[in-house]
Amino acid sequence: MTSPPAPRGRSRLTEPDQALADEAGRRFTGFVAESVLHRSPTSVLLSGAVWEEPAIAKILVSASPLWREAMAREIDAYRTFARHKPPFRTARLLDADERLPGLLLEHLDGERISASRYPSDEVPPRRLAAVLTAVTRVEDWRPPLAAWPRMLDYESRLDRYRRTGLLGAELHNRLTDLLDEAGEPTFFSHGDLAPPHVLRRLDDYKEGDYAFVDWAFAGLFLPGFDLAKLWAHLRATFGARSEIEALARARGETAWNAFRVNLAVVVLQELRGHVGDPDFEADWSRVLELLA
Provide the pLDDT for residue 12. 64
Lowest-confidence range among 123-127, 157-161, 199-203, 266-270? 199-203
Provide the 3-class DSSP secondary structure of residue 262: helix
Query: Is the pLDDT assigned to residue 7 strictly greater than 50?
Result: no
pTM: 0.91
CA–CA separation, 2 and 58 (whole Å)? 32
Helix (H) or strand (E) holding 2: none
Average pLDDT of 150-167? 96
- C-alpha distances (whole Å) from 127 to each of 130, 202, 223, 258, 281 are 5, 13, 23, 26, 28
Provide the 3-class DSSP secondary structure of residue 255: helix
Of the chain, the percentage scoring pLDDT greater than 90 comes to 85
DSSP 144: -
Lowest-confidence range among 46-60, 170-184, 198-212? 198-212
Lowest-confidence range among 2-11, 115-124, 253-262? 2-11
Ranges of H-type helices in 84-153: 125-140
List Cβ neighbours of 232 (8 Å cut-off, separation of 6 or more): 263, 266, 267, 270, 283
Query: Is the pLDDT assigned to residue 196 strictly greater than 50?
Result: yes
Average pLDDT of 188-206? 84
Half-sphere exposure (Cβ direction) of 203: Cα atoms closer than 13 Å: 5
Provide the pLDDT for residue 16. 86
Query: Is the pLDDT assigned to residue 116 strictly greater than 80?
Result: yes
Residues in the chain: 292
DSSP string, 160-172: HHHHTTSS-HHHH
Query: Is the pLDDT assigned to residue 5 strictly greater than 50?
Result: no
Q: Average pLDDT of the chain?
A: 92
Average pLDDT of 186-202? 93
The dotted CATH code for 15-107 is 3.30.200.20
Provide the pLDDT for residue 156. 97
Provide the pLDDT for residue 275. 84
List Cβ neighbours of 139 (8 Å cut-off, separation of 6 or more): 187, 188, 189, 223, 224, 226, 227
Contact by Cβ (8 Å): 230, 236: no
Q: Where in the chain is the domain with CATH 3.90.1200.10?
A: 111-291
Lowest-confidence range among 10-19, 150-159, 180-189? 10-19
pLDDT in tens, 235-278: 999 999 999 999 999 999 999 999 999 999 999 999 998 888 99
CA–CA separation, 208 and 257 (whole Å)? 28
Domain 111-291, CATH class in plain words: alpha beta
pLDDT in tens, 22-70: 999 999 999 999 999 999 999 999 999 999 999 999 999 999 999 999 9
Nearest CA-CA partner of 240 in 145, 140, 142, 114: 114
Provide the pLDDT for residue 203. 54
Provide the pLDDT for residue 276. 87
Contact by Cβ (8 Å): 98, 59: no
Half-sphere exposure (Cβ direction) of 114: Cα atoms closer than 13 Å: 20
List Cβ neighbours of 9 (8 Å cut-off, separation of 6 or more): 32, 34, 49
Query: Is the pLDDT assigned to residue 1 strictly greater than 50?
Result: no
Query: Is the pLDDT assigned to residue 9 strictly greater than 60?
Result: no
Alpha carbon dihedral 187, 192, 256, 167, in 10-degree steps, equals: 120
List Cβ neighbours of 251 (8 Å cut-off, separation of 6 or more): 223, 224, 259
Q: Where in the chain is the domain with CATH 3.30.200.20?
A: 15-107
